[in-house]
Amino acid sequence: MQIICFGYNDLHMLGDGWYGVERSPEGILYRSSAPAAEFFTPNPEQVSISLIASARPEHAGEALKGSIKGQDNSGFEFILETNGWTVIKGSAIPGKARTLRLNVENPWSPDRLYHNGDARALGLLVSAIRMA
């Protein structure tokens, strides 16, 4: 089993598509994903995945729609309709590259909402990932 706790042991397990560590109002450390983000698993076989994640559907104006995919598009889709911390579960086959891809269909930008110059395209907010 592999557990990635964002802000603690995450850097060597993350690929492209992640922003810096932030802290939620509840004190939870997390990273925002870009519309596409990668993370790695030590196991090339099928893995069960659980993420502690949140979305900001009130900012995007709709539920966040995403997926986690591995080799040959194995994986699962999810929808988050709340900004509360939620457990997302599924499975995927990473394959030889041992890479899983998080994709978000409808990212949002802080600048569109707050006009603050933060033009990042934000997807899922992730606090931890468990892979078994």
- Res. 40 pLDDT band, cuts 50 70 90: very high
pLDDT, one tens digit per residue, over 80-121 is 998 899 999 999 999 999 999 999 999 988 888 889 999 999
Is residue 131 classed as helix, strand or coil in its secondary structure? Answer: strand
Closest CA to 45 of 93, 101, 97, 115: 93
Confidence at residue 54, expressed as pLDDT on a 0 to 100 scale: 93
Domain boundaries, the chain: 2-131
Q: What CATH superfamily classification does 2-131 receive?
A: Galactose-binding domain-like (2.60.120.260)
Confidence at residue 120, expressed as pLDDT on a 0 to 100 scale: 94
DSSP letters for 62-109:
S-EEEEEE-GGG-EEEEEE--SS-EEEEEEE--TTTTEEEEEESS-B-
Confidence at residue 61, expressed as pLDDT on a 0 to 100 scale: 79
What pTM was estimated for this model as a whole?
0.92
